[in-house]
Amino acid sequence: MTAQREPGFRQSVDLMFNRAAALLKLSPGLEEKIRVCNSTYTVRFGVRLRGRIETFTGYRSVHSEHLEPVKGGIRYALSVDQDEVEALAALMTYKCALVEVPYGGAKGGLCLDPRQWEEHELEQITRRFAFELIKRDLINPAQNVPAPDMGTSEREMAWIADQYARIHTTDINARACVTGKPLNSGGIQGRVEATGRGVQFALREFFRHPDDVARAGLGGGIEGKRIIIQGLGNVGYHAAKFLSEEDGARIVGISERDGAIASEAGLNVEEVKAHLARKGGVKDFPGATFRPDSARLLEEDCDILIPAAMEGVINLDNAARIRAPLILEAANGPITAGADEVLRQMGKVIIPDLYANAGGVTVSYFEWVKNLSHIRFGRIQRRQEEAQHELLVRELERLSADKGLGWTLAPDFKERYLRGAGELELVRSGLDDTMRGAYQSMREVWHGREGVTDLRLAAYIVSVQRVAASYRAKGL
Ligand code: GLU
């Protein structure tokens, strides 16, 4: 549990914002305008379930409308309340600005435990919640576009999209009212993996800068690094999978609801995931040691710690015991403002949430653009590109034969070069470019601006500057 002296989540985000604002010297009015949450709509609605009327409480909070639509997921969890939703909406504003995704920040939430309800019941609840938001334009392709978050997935997004289309029967852009949809409802390839993929691209970019790696007291690349992951949900699972299977990292610990498992030899992420799906927990996973106290895993020795579950898990109670020199925030707000200060003093390097988990909203942006353009990326040019490449390969082969040079192209090169990019390749390319660019803009401030001691402060400076410029340009 978090100690009494710890501020709430929203206050914690505000404290982080304040550090940047102090260096930016914004006019007090503008500073206040950016910090505050524009509006929060609370709805209480009843649904007839299991022979009685159940009342649910939901929220949609809009932090900043300097750009529209506003964007941010909808969370289903018992922790959902106004403070949490507003903190998460503020983080969305800063996150979108940092990765240059042209949205204001928003977030929604429904206070319920999704595991307590059957699928058909969740559909009824989701459709009713969506209806309440749609009729107030709090879901709308031009104004407010939700996405999945903790406790929701493609399935809920498909219900929301369908609910919107039923109400707005003639809106040709109806599908753009929500992102993170399944492919058959207007989704985009690579959206499910996007946040985890973004974590991988973020770490890869970090490790491209030896100076930055050295600040964490590390060296070399991702290969062989010992990683601990908290939470094997959508984000944690994909991040752990890609980093271990593609980049050669060793996942030495994973924690879940029921406890934590550890293995120095490295955990096979797919096998842990399958075990979790079968048994509902990580306990009894073969070849690993198990401990019921999952929070303790955060304090274990490793090279990179990746909290990928809830906010506030690293707080004033445990911050001083964190041993990892490098922490990547895959969740939103896993480190409280107080803990952030402690960790900074300990010399830890933190790759902050507004950057590290921005892959989700980045690919959401691609999905929204796809929906508005009504065509899949790559559909027009893919075969033409392949034909061009084929021309070049044929010409090389002809020259080699004519001149008796005896050149042969490696079969792997030919196969890879000839294949034109489809939607998935384009999405990954766009995401990689976004993550690299955003890191570099943070890095410039981190290394180049007086008084900037850490990446989080740099990230806030970049994004708050952009939001401020946008307000100044259009007037309030
Ligand atoms: N819920 C995700 C986040 O926190 C994605 C938001 C979106 O795609 O709009 O960034």
pLDDT for position 1: 47
The tens digit of pLDDT for each residue in 54-107 reads: 999 999 999 999 999 999 999 999 999 999 999 999 999 999 999 999 999 999
Q: What was the pLDDT predicted at 475?
A: 78
Q: What is the pLDDT of residues 305-341, one digit of tens each?
A: 999 999 999 999 999 999 999 999 999 999 999 999 9
Residue 160: enclosing H or E segment and its boundaries? helix 154-167
Rounded mean pLDDT of the chain? 96
- In CATH terms, 39-187 corresponds, of 3.40.50.1260, 3.40.640.10, 3.30.230.10, 3.40.50.10860, to 3.40.50.10860
* Predicted confidence band of residue 116 (pLDDT cuts 50, 70, 90): very high
**Mean pLDDT, to the nearest integer, of 255-275?**
98
Atom of ligand 1 nearest to the CA of 103: 9
Q: Is 71 in the pocket of ligand 1 (CB under 6 A)?
A: yes
pLDDT at 407: 86
Domain extent listing, the chain: 39-187, 194-359
Residue 114 to residue 313: CA distance in whole angstroms: 21
Q: What is the pLDDT of residue 384?
A: 93
Phi and psi at residue 254, to the nearest 5°? -135, 130
How far apart are the CA of 182 and the centre of ligand 1, in A?
15
Query: Which whole number is the average pLDDT over 415-424?
Result: 91
Q: What local confidence, expressed as pLDDT, does residue 28 receive?
A: 86
Integer CA distances (angstroms), 132 to 14, 169, 180, in order? 29, 17, 20
Q: How many distinct helices (H) and strands (E) make up the chain?
A: 16, 13
Question: Measuring CA to CA, how many Å separate 359 from each of 16, 371, 406?
Answer: 21, 18, 45
With a 6 A CB cut-off, is 147 part of the ligand 1 pocket? yes
> Which residues are bridge partners to 52 per DSSP?
49
C-beta 73 within 6 A of ligand 1: yes
Q: What mean pLDDT is predicted for residues 163-183?
A: 98
Q: Is 367 in the pocket of ligand 1 (CB under 6 A)?
A: no
Site to substitute for ligand 1 among 178, 181, 195, most atoms within 8 A of C-beta? 195
pLDDT band at 4 (very low <50, low <70, confident <90, very high): low
Tens of pLDDT along 231-259? 999 999 999 999 999 999 999 999 999 99
Weakest-pLDDT range from 92-106, 118-132, 387-401:
387-401
CA distance 230 to 331: 9
Residue 474 pLDDT: 83
Per the DSSP assignment, residues forming a β-bridge with 42 are: 59
- Of the candidates 230, 228, 275, the residue with the CA atom closest to the CA atom of residue 257: 230
Inter-residue contact 6 to 311 (CB < 8 Å): no
| Ligand 1 pocket check for 151: Cβ under 6 Å | no
Strand ranges in 96-217 using DSSP code E only, listed in sequence order: 104-111, 144-145
- 406: pLDDT confidence band, cut at 50, 70 and 90? confident
107 is catalytic: yes
Do the domains at 39-187 and 194-359 have one common CATH topology?
yes
Mutate to test the pocket of ligand 1, among 93, 192, 364 (most ligand atoms within 8 A of CB): 364
CA of 150 to the centre of ligand 1 (A): 10
Residue ID of nearest Cα to ligand 1 atom 9:
72
pLDDT of residue 476: 67
Burial class (CB in 10 A: 0-12, 13-18, 19+), 27: exposed
> Which residues does 62 contact at the CB level (< 8 Å), separation at least 6?
37, 38, 39, 40, 70, 89, 104, 105, 106, 138, 144
Tell me, what's the pLDDT at 414? 87
Q: Is-contact 87 333, C-beta < 8 A?
A: yes
Q: What percent of the chain is helix, strand and coil (3-state, nearest 5)?
A: 50, 15, 35
Region 155-174: mean pLDDT is 98
CATH superfamily, region 194-359: NAD(P)-binding Rossmann-like Domain (3.40.50.720)
Q: Measured between alpha carbons, how far is 278 from 394 in angstroms, rounded to an integer?
A: 52
Q: Which residues of 343-371 are buried (b: 16+ CB within 10 A; e: fewer)?
A: bbeeebbbbbbbbbbbbbbbbbbbbbebb
Taking the C-alpha atoms of residue 36 and residue 28, their distance in angstroms, rounded to an integer, is 12
Among candidate residues 33, 71, 95, 107, the one labeled active-site is 107
Q: In this structure, are residues 468 and 29 in contact, taking their beta carbons and an 8 Å threshold?
A: no
